Amino acid sequence: MIILDGNKTSSEIKDEIAIDVNKMKEHGEKVPHLAAVLVGDDGASLTYVGSKVRACERVGFKSTLVQMSTTTTEDELLQKINELNENDDIDGFIVQLPLPEQIDEQKVLMAVDPSKDVDGFHPENFGKMALEMESFIPATPFGILQLLERYQVKTKGKHTVVIGRSHIVGRPMSILMSQKGNAGNSTVTLTHSYTKNLSEITKQADIIIVALGIPEFLKADMVKEGVVIIDVGISRVPDETHSRGYIIKGDVDFESVSKKASFITPVPGGVGPMTIAMLLKNTLIARQRKTS
Ligand code: NAD
């Protein structure tokens, strides 16, 4: 069994990005600039945005954190997005989700200039991705593709089962795995909460990508020997023995499933760190597209 090590792989990707940024500096070019908009004071969101800003510093990007209060109106946020769209110095930006309930998430995502949409959530980018055109691939699916590619996991002709159909992970993943090219050419089954006899389907899978948010949902008796497991889930499970009062669990019962798997991502240290690395990669691509 081989661990698909997201810490190691994301670190390599960040080093590659840093080399490109250094070259830009040597040539007197502007370095990529990522902005992150955070509305409200949700603890997990603050942590995620903080990690993204620190990652920018590590690779030599410029970063801007735009913090707005919980009571921000939809108009105020749309105004801010407009400013970021028009600011030539900013190559890409993200709006951290979830947003407070007075704000329509879809309206916000639609307002982002697709050429700066490094999260790849705008319908123009999603549509282009589905049509195999140049776009921004959402960071988490992009990270999963990179893990599969860099560990040379065979996907061609394999049966991939995706569990979960969210717009940011499951749905794009199902499209990408069926596409032509590396880490693609798979036969894909997309499953969700209305899927009947899920175990019968997962037992036929060569590759399982799990993104549903139920800790240790996938058990060993649901998979076949030699399966490749990608665990996207991140859940905080109360644990009094830990100083934080909780531990992070994935959607896979790692202990038992890893014994049958040929490749598996751990949680933490699998898909999570890849997501940030690919956000940086998308920002680098956004900068490069501006100059090419
Ligand atoms: P979501 O929470 O939006 O949706 C969950 C999906 O699971 C739905 O499509 C639902 O149909 C499906 N589902 C629920 N119960 C099911 C069942 N019993 N059988 C089959 N399908 C079922 O999904 P999301 O936003 O993709 O998040 C999923 C998990 O991934 C969460 O734990 C989230 O925190 C994590 N996540 C991690 C990263 C990362 O960088 N590692 C990124 C995004 C999300």
* 6 alpha-carbon distance from chain centroid: 12
Q: Coil, helix or strand for 69? A: coil
Query: What backbone phi and psi angles, to 5 degrees, belong to 170?
Result: -60, -55
Q: Is-catalytic flag, 119?
A: yes
By CB atoms closer than 10 A (0-12, 13-18, 19+), residue 76 is middle
Select from 144, 234, 248, 271 the residue to mutate for testing ligand 1; criterion: most ligand atoms less than 8 Å from CB: 234
- Ligand 1 neighbour 191 (Cβ under 6 A): yes
Ligand 1 pocket residue status of 275, Cβ below 6 Å: yes
How far are the Cα atoms of 60, 171, 258, 273 from residue 147, in angstroms, in the given order? Answer: 23, 18, 17, 11
Is 96 assigned a catalytic role?
A: yes
User: Residue 208: enclosing H or E segment and its boundaries?
Assistant: strand 207-210
166 CA from centroid of ligand 1 (Å): 6
> Are the C-beta atoms of 105 and 50 separated by less than 8 Å?
no
- CB within 8 Å of 76: residues ≥ 6 apart: 68
Closest CA to 64 of 42, 31, 97: 31
Distance CA 38, CA 54 (A): 15
66-88 pLDDT, tens digit per residue, is: 999 999 999 999 999 999 999 99
**Higher pLDDT residue, 292 or 35?**
35
Write the residue with the smallest CA distance to atom 16 of ligand 1. Answer: 193
Q: Look at residue 193 and tell me whether its pLDDT is greater than 90.
A: yes
pLDDT on residue 292: 78
User: Within 10 A of 203 (CB to CB), how many other CB atoms are there?
Assistant: 15
CB 274 within 8 A of CB 147: yes
Paired tokens of 106: 């879809």
- Torsion angle, alpha carbons of 56, 57, 60, 66, to 10: 60
0.95 surpassed by pTM? yes
User: Over 90: is that where the pLDDT of 91 sits?
Assistant: yes
**Under a CB-based contact definition with an 8 Å cutoff, are residues 260 and 219 in contact?**
no
Which two structure tokens, joined as six digits, stand for 66?
Answer: 């735009």
What integer pLDDT is reported at residue 31 of this predicted model?
97
Q: Which atom of ligand 1 is nearest to the CA of 267?
A: 41
Q: What band does 291 get if pLDDT is binned at 50, 70 and 90?
A: confident
pLDDT attached to residue 232: 98
Average pLDDT over residues 144-165: 98
Q: For 93-125, write each residue's pLDDT tens digit.
A: 999 999 999 999 999 999 999 999 999 999 999
The answer to whether 281 is a known catalytic residue is no
Mean pLDDT of the 39-54 span: 91
Predicted confidence at residue 287, as pLDDT, reads 97
pLDDT in the model for residue 119: 96
3-state secondary structure of 221: helix
The percent of residues above 70 in pLDDT, for the chain, comes to 100
Residue 265 has pLDDT above 90, yes or no: yes
Q: Ligand 1 test: best mutation among 4, 121, 169, most atoms within 8 Å of CB?
A: 169
DSSP summary character for residue 139: H
Q: List 249's β-bridge partners, or say none.
A: 235
Q: Is the pLDDT of residue 189 over 90?
A: yes
Please report the domains of the chain, with CATH numbers, ordered by start residue: 27-113 (3.40.50.10860), 139-272 (3.40.50.720)
